[in-house]
Structure 1
Amino acid sequence: MSAKVAIFMGSISDKDTMQPCSDLLTKLGVPHVFTVSSAHRTPERTANLVKELEENGCEIFICAAGLAAHLAGAVAAKTIKPVIGVPICGSPLGGMDALLATVQMPPGFPVGTVALDKVGARNAAWLAAQILALHDAELAGKIREARQGFIDSVEQAAAELEGR
C-alpha cells in the first residue's frame, strides 16, 4: 500500500523531534514516509517528492521546520492536499519565528499549524489520522479507542489520588 501521509523535515537534526509523529502513525497503521527535504537547500527535491507522492496516493503532508520554516508553505504551494505544519524551536527566538512563518500563509495556500516540537509532532499525526478517518471506519475506531484510553488513564489517576 502506498503512503497516505508524508512527513517532511527541513533538516535531519529534526528527526528526534519528529519521531513521535512517525511512531504514532505506525501505531495507528497509517502508511507513511518519513524523510528530509529543505524548502531552501533542496527545493527541486521537495517539489518532486510532493508530485511523486501525490501520484502514488499520498493524501496529507506534514512538514516540520525551524528558523524561517518555509517548508510547509513550499509544500502547500505545490499541492491542494492538506498540509500540516510543525514549527520547530531552533533559534534564540524560542520557535516563535518558526511558528509565525508556518501559520502566516497567504489566502488560498493554508497550512494547518500545530504546536511546537514533539507535542506538535504527535498532534500532527493525530490530525492527519482524523482527516483520513473521515473515510476510514477502521482508523476512526482506533482513534476512538485511543481517546478512551486517555479518558481511562485520567479517571484512574483521579481515583488513585482520591483513594478510591
Structure 2
Amino acid sequence: MASQMKAPPSSRRQIVDVPNNYKHLVERLSPGGRYIDAQTDDDSPWVPFGDNAAIKHLAFDVRQNQYSNILWVKGPGTIGTHLHRGTVTMVTLEGSVRYLEYDWVGTPGGLILETPGESHTLVTDHPEGCKLFGWMQGPIEFYDEDANFVESVDVWWFINHYETHCREHGLTPNPKLYL
C-alpha cells in the first residue's frame, strides 16, 4: 500500500535551529541567500541588447558558468539564431515567444526548456513583444543568416555587458548579483 505524502508541519512561524555538522563552513563559505528585485531598477537596470531588446541581469555564477536574467524584446522582433552549449530554462512572463524551428508558442507562465546542442531563432510576433525569465548554463553561440559564427556569450560576457553599462551610466555594480 502506497503512503500518501503529507505536507511538513507549519503551525507556527518561527526560526528552527536545524542541526548541521557543517554550519560553521556554510556560514564562512556560502554566498548566502538573497533577493533581487526584478520589478524595479533598484537591484539591476535594463541593459540594451541590440536595437529592440534589453536584459535585466539577475545572477552571475562564475564557478558553474551560469547566469540568470530577464530578456525583454520590446515589440515584434527576433533574437538571432544561436546554438546552446548548455542547458537553458526559461519562463514566459509577458507577451508571447516562439522559435522558427518549433511549432509551439510560449505564453505567460509557460516553461521553455532548451538542451545543449540545439540551435534556434527566437521570435516574438506579439505587438508588445515578450519578457522571458531565464536561467542559463554554458556558452551560447550566435550565428548570422549565412551560418557564420558571430559571437560566443557566457557568464563572463554577461558580466562584462552589465558592468560596462554600469560604468557608462555612473552606476555601482550590485554585489548581490554575484554568486
Q: Return the structure number with greater strand share.
A: 2
Determine which structure has more spread, i.e. the larger CA radius of gyration. 2
TM-score, length-scaled by structure 1: 0.29
TM-score, length-scaled by structure 2: 0.28
